[in-house]
Structure 1
Amino acid sequence: MCQHFNDNGSLNVQEIPRDLPTNVKPTDYQISFNVDETKFTFKGETVVEFDVLEPFTKELNYIELNTCELYDVSAKLLLPTEEEAKSIEEFTKFQKTRFTFAEESLLSLKKGDKVKLLINYGGYLNDKMCGFYRSKYEDENGDIKYQFVTQFEATDARKAFPCYDHPSIKSDFTVKMESIKDFVHISNMASNSETIIGDRKVTTFNTLPKHSTYLVAFCVGDFVPVKSQYEYRIPVTTWTVKGAEKRSQYSADFTSKCLEFYENLFDIPFPFNKVDSILCKEFSAGAMENSGMITYREGALLLDPEQHTIAELQRVSEVIAHEVAHQWFGNLVTMSDWTDLWLNESGATFWSWFCCNNFYPEWNVWESFITDSLANAFALDSLRSSHAIQNDSCEPDEINQIFDAISYAKGGSLLRMMKTWLGEKDFVAGVSSYLKEFAWQNATTADLWNHLEKISGKPVTESMSIWTKNVGHPMVTIEEVATTETEITLKLTQNRFLKTADVKPEEDQIIYPIVLFYKTEANAVEGSFENSYVFDTRDTTLTLPISAAKDFYKLNGNQSGFFVTKYPESRYEKLAKQSSLMTDDDKAGLIGEMNSLCAAGAIKTSTFLNLIVNWKSESSPAIWNQMLVALGSIKKAWFFEDEETLNKLKTITAKLAAEKLDELDWEIKESDSFNLKELKVSLFSSAVNNGNEKYTKLSLDLFHKYLEDETVINPLYRDTMFTAVALNGDVNDYDAVFKIYRKNDSRKLVALRTFTRFESKELVDKTFKLIDEKIILPQDIYIALSMIGTRQAGTYILWDWLKTNWAQILLDFPPSLNMLSYIVRICTAGFTQFKQYDDVKSFFAEKECNGFDMALAQSLDSITTKAKWVQRDGSDLIEYLSQL
C-alpha cells in the first residue's frame, strides 16, 4: 500500500479510490513474456493503447492499471510523446499501480485521442495455481517437471501483466512468448511466427480480438499433441503429457463434436481457426474456458478408453460440453460485470446438459439434472446464507465465492424452467438472437430477457427478474379444501423456504410468479404440459379434474419449476403408492423435495422413509441415486447421535440396495442396458458403503485378486472395490493403494479417494504428512479432506487440523483463492450439534473472514439445520426404525 506523508512526517490520510479511472479505455495490448524455468520468474513487457474518453485534469493527471505481485516496474509514454514516468506508485491493497507523467503530457489530450504506455516488469511463476504459475508433475520416468500455465479468472491477469482487469473492458491482445527451445508454446490464437535463437524459442501469436482480460491464456511446457479424429472444419487438439496420449483422445474428439453441435444449434460459427485443450497437472478449478485454449485438470479431461467408469465418462463429457458452451456464453458474449456471472456459468451449465442429451440420449440426462444440478441448487438456496443469482454489487473478495451452486445450478435450473414455459423452439431462438446481437460485446441479464420475451411473446422480464434478483425460493403449501367425484379444489399458499425453519417476516416479502406445470391422471406421464397455471399471489385456489379411482395429481410436473411443494400428510401416503402415475423426473423430484421438507420439519422423517421403502422396486438409476442420497442426508444429520440409530439407518440402506442388487444379479453383462449398468453400480456401491457383508466380502476378495490381475474386475465396479478396502483394509492395503496412486495412471483419483479414507490414527497421520509434503497436490487437498471427514472421528480430526494449522493454511491457500472456501466448508460442515456450532463460531469470531465468509455462513446454517432436525424428529425416527 502506498502511503503519503506530510513534510513533518505525519501520515496524510488520502482517500484512494479502489476502481481504476474511467476517462481512458484500453483497446489494444501487446504483451511479451520471457520465462526463466529455473528461477520460476518471468520478464514481462506490456504496451497498452488507450482511447481517451474524457480529458485528463490536474486532479486526474495519471494512468492506473491493475497489478499484483509484479516487481521492478518501469514505464514510459510512447504516445502522445516519449517520456519516462515521473513517479510509479503501487497501491497494494487495491491491486493497482499509478503512473504519473509531466502535467503537459496528459493534460493536452482531448476526447478521442490515443495514449500508448510501455511497462517493463518482473513477475513470479508462483505455485498458487493462479496468474501465470508453475504446475509441477512427475514424468514417465519419475523426474520432476514443470508446466507454466495461466489461470486468470476472476482477477488474476494482473499477476501476469498490468491491465484493466475487468470483464466489461474488452480489448485486442497480441501475445509473444520466449522460453527454452524444447518447450511448446500455446495461446488463445494460432502461432503467427516462431523462431529459434540459440537455445531459445520465440513465438508470436495472432491477435485475439475484443476479449476481457480473464479469458487471455498462454502456456509453456513439454506438451504432446493428440489430434481430433472427428472430422470438423478447424483443427482441434488436446495437448497432454507423454504417456497420457491414449487417455486424451476422447477429449479431442468430443470437443469437436460439441463445437459442431453448438454452431448448428445457435447458427453462430465458432469464430477462430483452432481449439486447444490443455492438460494442467496442477489446477485449482475443474476447467477454464479461455477462448481457443481451454485448460483442464486431469480428472476433467482424461478418459481411459477401456477402463473408465460410468461416472468418469459422464464427468469428462459434461465438463467438456460446459467449457465449449462457454465459447459462446462468456467468451463471445461476456457479462458486463461479475454481478451477472450467472449469464456465463448457468448458460454453460444448462447447455452442457442439453448437449450431452444429444450425444447420449440413453443417459436420461434430465433425470440426472434433477438429482444433480437442481438438487445442488436447492441445497444451497434453502439456506439463509444463500445469495441472489444477480448480485447488486460484488466486492473483490466476494467474486471467487459466487462461483457456486447459485451461479451455476440455480441459474441453470431457471433456464430449464424457461425452456418448459416458453417451449424449446422459442427458447433456443431467443438465446440465439441474444448471442447474435451482443457478439463481441458485454451484456446484462436484462438483455437476455428482452430477446426471450421478443421471440416468445411472454412476460419474461417481469417474471424472471423476480427469480434472479431475489435470494431464495418458495414453498407452495397445499390444502385440499373440497373434493367431488370428478374434481378436487386446492388452496395454494407460497412462502419463503428455509431448511432452518425460521423464516422471518421481512424475509418473506417476495411473491414469485410460479408456473405450475401441474399433472393429473389425464397427462400423468406425458412430457409436455398443456395444463399450466401462473401462481403470482400469496395464495390462490386451483380446481383440478380427478377421479375417485386414481385420486392423483402432482403440482410440479417433471419437477420443471424451481419451488418446493408441501402436500397434505395424507397425500404423501397416496403418492407413495402411485409410482406408476409419475415419470421418473416426477419421482426423482418428489424424493428431493421431501428430503428438504423433512429436514425443515415441514413433514415427518418417517413419512419420507415410508415413501422410499414403498419405492424399492423402482428401476431408474436416477431415482435410486436420489433415494440413496436422501438416506445419506438423514445419516449425516444423525452422524453424532446414538450409534444404534445410526447403525439401523445404515442397515436399512444396505438392505434396500442389496436386495435390489440380488434381484438384478450383480454381475454386469454386455447385454445390460446403460441404465441397468448404472443402477447395478449405484446399488453395489451403496451396499458396500453401508456395510453389507456379502458385497463387502466380494469386493475385498476381488481387490486382492486385482492387485495381481487387473482384468478380474469389470472397470465399472472398480471404485466400489476400492471403497471396500478403504472401509475394511489394513496398513498393507493402504500401502498397496498408495503405490497405485504413485503410478499416475487412470486410477490415480480413485486411489487418492481410497487411501485418504482409511480410519486408523496412524494412517490418517500418514495422510496429513503427505498433504504437508505436497505429495498429495494442493489442487487435490479437498478430496483428501473430504475422505477423512466421512467418519465421526475424522470430522473432529479435520477441525483440530484446521485450528492448529490455520496460519499456514492461510499462507498456502490465501483468501483470494476459492480453495480456502472449500477447506473451511469441508472442515466445518460435517458437524451436527449446537455445541459444535458454538465451537466453530467462536474460533472464527476474531478471524478476518473476507474471502470465505459465505462458505463459513453456509456451514453454520447447515449445522443448524441438522441440529434442529435431530432435535425435532429424533423420537419419530426411532419409533419408525423400531417397526422395521
Structure 2
Amino acid sequence: MGSDKAAGRVLLPPHVEPRKYNLRLEPDLERFSYEGLVKVDVEVVTSTNTITVHSKDIAVHEVSFTPGQQGSAPIAAIALAFDLKLTTLSMTFPTDLPAGPGTLEIRFTGTLNNQMAGFYRSGYTAADGEKRMMASTQFEALDARRCFPCWDEPARKAVFEVTMVIPTNRAALSNMPEAEVTLLPGGKTEIRYMPSPLMSSYLLAFCVGEFDFLQGVTKHGVSIRVYTPPGKKNLGRFALQVALDTLDLYDDFFQVPYPLPKLDMIAIPDFAMGAMENWGLVTYREVDLLIDDNKASSQQRQRVCSVITHELAHQWFGNLVTMNWWDDLWLNEGFASWTQTFAADALFPSWAMWEQFTTDDQAAALRLDSLKTSHPIQVPIAHAEEVEQVFDAISYCKGACVVRMLHSVIGADKFKEGLQVYMNRHKYANTETFHLWSAWEEVSGKPVGKIMSSWTEQMGHPVVKVTEATYSAADKSLALTLEQSWFLADGSDAGDEAKLWTIPLVYSTKGVKASEVELMEGKTHTLKVPLDSESEWVKLNAGQHTLMRVAYTDGMLSALTKAIKSKALPAEDRVGMMSDAYALTKAGKMGVEQLVALLPAYSQEDNTTVWESLEMILVGLDKVLQDNAALQQPFKAMAAKLIAPCAASIGWDPKPDDGHLSKLLRGTMIRLLGRFAWDTPAVQEEAKRRFTGHCEDPEAGSLPSEYAAPVYQIILKSGGTAEFDQVMAILNRTDDIAQKKQVYAAIGAANSAELKKRVMEWAVTEVKLQDFFYPINSVAGSGKLGQDLAWAFFKDNFERLRGMLGKASPSLMDAVILYSSGGFCDHDKAAEVEQFFKDHPLPSNARKISQVLEGIRINATFLQRMTTSPLADKSFWDSLEL
C-alpha cells in the first residue's frame, strides 16, 4: 500500500491508474451469487510487476494483463495476495509490466449478500403475490470492492461500461441507458449499457428485478423515470414531479446542464440509508420515495421532497465534482443538505423550509457539535474505513449550516456565481475545500477562506456572551461588549483559550429587520446598536444564520421575553431564543428556573416551526426528569397547560383551509397531548373514538396520518394485550411502509414489561433489518421502564445483534446503541455502559459510543442541578403565569 505523506492517507499504489472498466456480471437470484468479469483499461505510470486493487468478499479465479502494444500476448498472474485488513488484492506477474496503456482482466465470483451493502439482495412481493428476490447495489463509501475488484477511491475516476446478463423475465437498470440488448440461449438476456462519464467507483449502480415505472421529461429534455416494486407505480407521481422540477431548477442554478441522458429513481425494498445518489440511477428506501396521495402526511411529503432534492443536488455536487478524499466528505453532504432546503423552498414556498431548517439541520448540528466527542467538518481520515463514522450531523447538518452562513455573508448573487465558476472549472474532476472557497473569494472579493477555515477546520462552535450593555441616551445607541468562547454542552472550561471563530454578526431590533454583517474576529468585540430607548429589545444572530449560541444580560433577556410574547420576533428567532436558553441551561450557564420561566412566553404561540422546537425541549426535559417523579409531576402539569391553547385552537379535525403547515402543527400538538395529557378524559375519549373508527374502516379517514402514531401510543398506554394486538394487526392489513413505521414508532408504549419485551424480540426476528431499531427505540423512549428493558435486551442479545448486523453499515449498530442506552440520566449507568463496551468492543462504532456516554453524563449532571434548583420548591411552579 502507498501512503500519501501530506495527509497520512492509506492509498493504493500510484503505479497503475484505471481509465475504463468493462464490467460483465451475471447474477443468479435463486442461488444468491453472481459470475463476474472485469476488463480494466489502465495506464501503467511506473513499470511494476504488481498491481494492487481493492477487493472484499470476492473469489478471484483468473488474472491476466495485456500490454497495450500491438500484438502483445496476455500475461497471467503468478501470485494473488489478499489483505483482509486493508481489503486489497495484490496481483504479481512474472515480469515487470511496461509503462503505458494495458488491460487488466479478472474473472471472479461473488455473493448477493443480505447486508444491504455491495451487490446485495432484497425481497419483494410480485404482482401475483409471490415472494421474490431482486438485486441492487450500495457502494458508498467503500463497498464497490465488495462487488468487483477496483480502485475504490474517489479520486481514481474512470469510465464504466456495464454489461448485465439476466433472466429474460427480469429487467435490469444501470447508471446509463441501454446500448444493446441481446437474447441468449437458456432464457437469458444480455444488456450492454452506454459508457458512463468519468466518475468515482462508489457512484456505480445496477438493479435487477421486476419493476413498474412512470416517466416524464424535463423542460431541458432529460428523461426521468420513477421505478417501483410491481403494482406500486401510482405511488411515484409526487416523486416524479418533484424530480422534474428539481432537475430544471439545478440546471439553471449551476449553469451546467445535467450531463446524462436519463435519470432513474428506484425504490428498493431493503435499504440501509435513506437514499444514494448513484449517477443516473438514484436508489431510495421505499418510504423516502413513494407516497400515497390520499393518505400521506405533510411530514412524509416534506421528507420525500427533501430526500429527492438532496440526492439530485449530488448529481452535480459529488458526482460531477467529487471530493478528492473522504476528509472532504462534507463537500458532498453539507452542500447537498443546504441545497435540499434551497430547492424544497423554491418548489414549495408555503412550507417555510428555511424556518424549519433552524429546528432540523441547525438544531442537530449544534447538539452534536457541542460535545467533546464531536469532530471538525474537515476531519482527518487516514484509513478510508474511518469515514463510516463521519456520515453524521457534522458532515451533513453543520456543513449545511456553514454554507448557509456564507450565503448570508456574500449574498445570493455572488454565492450562485461562485458555484457556477466552481462547477465549470472542476467538472469531472476532484476537489478539496479550498477550491470552493477560492471560487467564492474570486467572485465576491471577500476573504472567504479566512472566514470559513475557523468553521470547517476546527471542532465546535462559539457562544457569544454579552458581558456589558451600556445605553447612551445622547446618541440613542446601545454599546454591547461581546466575548466569544468554545461552547461545550457539559459547561466545562474547554482549556483552549486560543480557539476563536470569525463570526458573522447580524442583529435585529424593533426598527431593523437585519443589520449589515459585521465580522467578530477576536476574543472580544464591541457592537454599537442604534436604539430609541434602553428598554427596547436587541436580538443577536438575527435570522439564526450563524452557528452559535448567544448569552444575554438579564435586562436584554427580559426585553426579548416580551418580544417573544408579542411575536415581535420572527419565528426563527423565537426558535433561537428557546434553543439557546435550553443549551445554556444544560451547560450550567443559565439557571434552570430562568429556562422554565421563559416557557410561558410561548403560551400563545401558534407557529408550526416554533412548536417543533418547543416539542424537542419539552420532551428533552421530560426525559431527563423521568428518574425524578417529584419534579416530573409539576413539570408535566406545566407542559400540559402550555400546550393547551394551541392544541385547542388547531383541534383534531382537519379543516377545509388547512395548509401544509397547519397539518404539521396538528401532528405536533397531538404528539404533545399524547405525551403530557394522554391520561385526561378528553384526550382518552378522542383517541379511543378515532382508533376504533380506524380499526373498523381504515379508509374512513377517522385517523389522519399526521397523528396516527401518538393515537396508537395513547391507546397502548391506557390498554392491555387486546389493544396491543389491535395495533399490531394494522401491520398485516397494509403494505404501506409509512403506515408500518407509525406502528413501529408507537408499539413500545405497550403498558407492561411483558409486552415491551415481546416488541423487542419481535423486532429482531420479524422486522426488516433496515427497520428493526425503530421498535426498540419505541420501547426505550416509553419511559424509565422502557429504557431499562431496552438496555437489558441489548446486553442479553449483544452477540445475536452483532451477528445480525454482520457486515452491514455501522450506522445500523449506531442506531441500536443510541436507542438502547442513550436515554439514561445517571452517572452510575454511564459507568455501566462504558464498562460493557470495554468488555465488548465495537471499533466501528467507537465514536458513537463515546458520544452516547458523554450525553448520558451531561444529562445526569443536568438532573442533579435541577434537584437543587428552585424547581424543587412548589412555590416556583405556582408562580408561573400560564
**Aligned partners of 2:110, 2:601: CA distance in 1, in Å?**
63
- Which residue in the other structure is 1:650 paired with? 636
**Aligned partners of 2:684, 2:299: CA distance in 1, in Å?**
21
- Which residue in the other structure is 2:711 paired with? 721
Q: Does residue 1:62 correspond to 2:50, yes or no?
A: yes
Q: 1:182 to 1:756 in 2, by over 3 A?
A: farther
Q: 1:298 aligns with which of 286, 293, 304?
A: 286
Amino acid in the other structure paired with 1:123 = G
- Which residue in the other structure is 1:12 paired with? none
TM-fit CA distance, 1:175: 0.7
Q: Does residue 1:551 correspond to 2:543, yes or no?
A: no
- Which residue in the other structure is 1:533 paired with? 518
CA deviation profile, 1:91-144 (whole Å, cap 9, x unmatched): 1111011111112x41xx23xx01211101110100000000001233455532
Q: Does residue 1:218 correspond to 2:206, yes or no?
A: yes
SS in 2 for 1:291: coil
| 8 Å CA contact 2:10, 2:384 repeated in 1 | no
Q: 2:405 aligns with which of 417, 427, 440?
A: 417
- Which residue in the other structure is 1:482 paired with? 470
| 8 Å CA contact 1:239, 1:276 repeated in 2 | yes
SS in 1 for 2:234: helix
Q: 2:753 aligns with which of 761, 768, 782?
A: 761
- Which residue in the other structure is 2:788 paired with? 796
Amino acid in the other structure paired with 1:634 = L
| 8 Å CA contact 1:321, 1:355 repeated in 2 | yes
Q: Does residue 1:818 correspond to 2:811, yes or no?
A: yes
**Aligned partners of 1:685, 1:130: CA distance in 2, in Å?**
35
CA deviation profile, 1:302-356 (whole Å, cap 9, x unmatched): 1111111111111111001100111011001000001000000011100110001
Q: 1:322 aligns with which of 295, 304, 310?
A: 310
- Which residue in the other structure is 1:689 paired with? 675
- Which residue in the other structure is 2:735 paired with? 744
SS in 2 for 1:339: helix
Counterparts of 1:195-344 in structure 2, within 5 Å, are 195-197=182-184, 198-228=186-216, 233-344=221-332
Q: 1:94 to 1:703 in 2, by over 3 A?
A: same
Q: 1:705 aligns with which of 693, 711, 714?
A: 693
| 8 Å CA contact 2:507, 2:515 repeated in 1 | no
- Which residue in the other structure is 2:38 paired with? 46
SS in 2 for 1:262: helix
Q: 1:666 to 1:39 in 2, by over 3 A?
A: closer
Q: 1:361 aligns with which of 323, 344, 349?
A: 349
Q: Does residue 1:26 correspond to 2:11, yes or no?
A: no
- Which residue in the other structure is 2:872 paired with? 878
**Aligned partners of 1:346, 1:504: CA distance in 2, in Å?**
26
Amino acid in the other structure paired with 2:589 = A
SS in 2 for 1:397: helix
**Aligned partners of 1:392, 1:18: CA distance in 2, in Å?**
12
TM-fit CA distance, 1:624: 1.3
Counterparts of 1:60-99 in structure 2, within 5 Å, are 61-80=49-68, 81-99=73-91
**Aligned partners of 2:303, 2:716: CA distance in 1, in Å?**
23
Give the root-mean-square deviation of aligned CA atoms: 1.9
| 8 Å CA contact 1:478, 1:492 repeated in 2 | yes
- Which residue in the other structure is 2:648 paired with? 662
Amino acid in the other structure paired with 1:822 = A
**Aligned partners of 1:411, 1:40: CA distance in 2, in Å?**
39
In structure 1, the gaps of 5 or more residues are 2-16
Q: 1:361 to 1:550 in 2, by over 3 A?
A: farther
Q: 1:562 to 1:73 in 2, by over 3 A?
A: same
CA deviation profile, 1:46-81 (whole Å, cap 9, x unmatched): 11121122232xxxx200110000114321112253
- Which residue in the other structure is 2:559 paired with? 574
- Which residue in the other structure is 2:427 paired with? 439
| 8 Å CA contact 2:228, 2:267 repeated in 1 | yes
CA deviation profile, 1:733-780 (whole Å, cap 9, x unmatched): 32232222233125222122233442423322322332332x200100
CA deviation profile, 1:808-833 (whole Å, cap 9, x unmatched): 22222247532122222222211111
- Which residue in the other structure is 2:778 paired with? 787
| 8 Å CA contact 2:127, 2:230 repeated in 1 | yes
| 8 Å CA contact 1:725, 1:754 repeated in 2 | no
- Which residue in the other structure is 1:676 paired with? 662
| 8 Å CA contact 1:653, 1:687 repeated in 2 | no
TM-fit CA distance, 1:463: 1.1
**Aligned partners of 1:842, 1:814: CA distance in 2, in Å?**
23
| 8 Å CA contact 1:654, 1:687 repeated in 2 | yes
CA deviation profile, 1:574-611 (whole Å, cap 9, x unmatched): 21111233111111111111111111011112212222
| 8 Å CA contact 1:338, 1:394 repeated in 2 | no
**Aligned partners of 1:503, 1:205: CA distance in 2, in Å?**
59
Q: 1:142 to 1:753 in 2, by over 3 A?
A: farther
**Aligned partners of 1:276, 1:390: CA distance in 2, in Å?**
32
CA deviation profile, 1:639-662 (whole Å, cap 9, x unmatched): 32x223223322322322222222
| 8 Å CA contact 1:34, 1:43 repeated in 2 | yes
**Aligned partners of 2:820, 2:760: CA distance in 1, in Å?**
14
Q: Does residue 1:518 correspond to 2:514, yes or no?
A: no
Q: 1:593 aligns with which of 559, 564, 580?
A: 580
Q: Does residue 1:383 correspond to 2:371, yes or no?
A: yes
| 8 Å CA contact 2:124, 2:229 repeated in 1 | no
- Which residue in the other structure is 1:5 paired with? none
Q: 1:293 to 1:563 in 2, by over 3 A?
A: same
TM-fit CA distance, 1:802: 1.8
How many positions carry a matched residue from both structures?
A: 853
In structure 2, the gaps of 5 or more residues are 2-8
Amino acid in the other structure paired with 2:850 = A
**Aligned partners of 1:755, 1:719: CA distance in 2, in Å?**
9
TM-fit CA distance, 1:786: 1.2
TM-fit CA distance, 1:788: 1.2
| 8 Å CA contact 1:490, 1:543 repeated in 2 | yes
Question: TM-score if structure 1 supplies the norm length?
Answer: 0.94
% of aligned pairs identical? 28
**Aligned partners of 2:286, 2:663: CA distance in 1, in Å?**
25
CA deviation profile, 1:626-648 (whole Å, cap 9, x unmatched): 112111111122232x2232233
More moved, 550-559 vs 447-456: 550-559
TM-fit CA distance, 1:677: 3.1
SS in 1 for 2:844: coil
Q: 1:142 to 1:733 in 2, by over 3 A?
A: farther
| 8 Å CA contact 1:521, 1:550 repeated in 2 | no
**Aligned partners of 1:281, 1:410: CA distance in 2, in Å?**
30
**Aligned partners of 2:293, 2:481: CA distance in 1, in Å?**
54
TM-fit CA distance, 1:666: 3.8
**Aligned partners of 1:530, 1:457: CA distance in 2, in Å?**
20
Q: 2:339 aligns with which of 340, 351, 372?
A: 351
- Which residue in the other structure is 1:778 paired with? 769
Question: TM-score if structure 2 supplies the norm length?
Answer: 0.94
**Aligned partners of 1:609, 1:310: CA distance in 2, in Å?**
31
| 8 Å CA contact 1:188, 1:216 repeated in 2 | yes
Q: Does residue 1:168 correspond to 2:124, yes or no?
A: no
SS in 1 for 2:868: helix
Q: 1:564 to 1:549 in 2, by over 3 A?
A: closer
Q: Does residue 1:608 correspond to 2:588, yes or no?
A: no
Q: 1:717 to 1:846 in 2, by over 3 A?
A: closer
| 8 Å CA contact 1:232, 1:256 repeated in 2 | no
SS in 2 for 1:147: strand
Amino acid in the other structure paired with 1:564 = R
